[in-house]
Amino acid sequence: MALELHSLRVRYPNGALGVLDISLRVETGQITALFGPNGAGKTTTTRAIGGFLRSEGAKIIAGDIVLNGRVISGMEPHRVAALGVAVVPERHKVFANLSVTENLGALGNRMPRTARRDLLAQVVELFPILHERRHQAAGRLSGGERQMLAIGRALLLDPTLLVIDEMTLGLHHSLQPSLYATVQRIAAQGTSVLVVDESNTFALDVADHCYRIEAGSIVADGPPSVFRGEGFAASHGVTA
């Protein structure tokens, strides 16, 4: 098992609770989808996993985050990353003033050159457009291309767990199926993936297991078939 969250509860400095009760599991080599409306606590959950809560003064006040049997709750981001977790954030995904090539090299040389070259070749194979745009400033890429670049950068960390926050936020509907298809390829290569999105439109086509979050708590989970039922869609306002 790659990742477990046990009754996670997060509080912000103003006293507001970012999440109330989040329990979920991301199995090794599978795609897990976490979806729900804006403000439900999705980004807080991903920031807790990646260790980024401190930058906002927030903290975990209950529950645990466990990675491969090891508790990582409250660890600093660089330590979480060193354990194999790569997070693609909701915002500030890329360095706008740097070229695509410079963005892909911005993480530094954290592994042997040969290994990094092989990972870069895999990224280009997954996202050929990044090679075509390699000299272009990231700020001039389309929203879909920036998302591809952000995912590509994360993959250069050679993660065992990839967390993608707001997978399709701001992306044209026509670009979303191909992006999800690429996520399937990433998982097929052995990387566990947690896809976080407001919509479940395409997540249901690729996920092995899904969770629905509302008002900071998990309200339903199961295989995609659970969320396709008309009764569930009607009661939760879900696009099935």
Per-residue pLDDT reduced to its tens digit, 8-44:
999 999 888 999 999 999 999 999 999 999 999 999 9
Residue 233 has pLDDT above 90, yes or no: no
In this prediction, residue 108 carries a pLDDT of: 58
Contact 202, 180 (CB under 8 A): yes
Alpha carbon of 170 to those of 35, 44, 93, 197: distances in Å?
A: 16, 19, 13, 11
CA gap 126, 165 in Å, rounded: 19
Residue 238 has pLDDT above 60, yes or no: no
Contact 196, 45 (CB under 8 A): yes
Q: How confident is the model at residue 170 (pLDDT cuts 50, 70, 90)?
A: confident
Average pLDDT of span 69-76:
94
How high does pLDDT run on average in the chain? Answer: 89
Mind listing the pLDDT tens digit for each residue in 107-160? 655 667 788 888 889 999 999 999 999 999 999 999 889 999 999 999 999 999
Lowest mean pLDDT among 46-55, 102-111, 132-141, 229-238: 229-238
Mind listing the pLDDT tens digit for each residue in 189-211? 999 999 999 888 888 999 999 99
Average pLDDT of span 221-234:
75
Average pLDDT of span 59-87:
95
In this prediction, residue 101 carries a pLDDT of: 93
Residue 230 has pLDDT above 70, yes or no: no
In this prediction, residue 174 carries a pLDDT of: 78
Q: How confident is the model at residue 1 (pLDDT cuts 50, 70, 90)?
A: low
Residue 234 has pLDDT above 50, yes or no: no
CA gap 192, 44 in Å, rounded: 20
In this prediction, residue 44 carries a pLDDT of: 95
CA gap 103, 100 in Å, rounded: 5
Q: How confident is the model at residue 240 (pLDDT cuts 50, 70, 90)?
A: very low
Tell me the CATH architecture of domain 3-88+160-236.
Answer: 3-Layer(aba) Sandwich (3.40)
More confident residue, 148 or 174: 148
Average pLDDT of span 219-225:
94
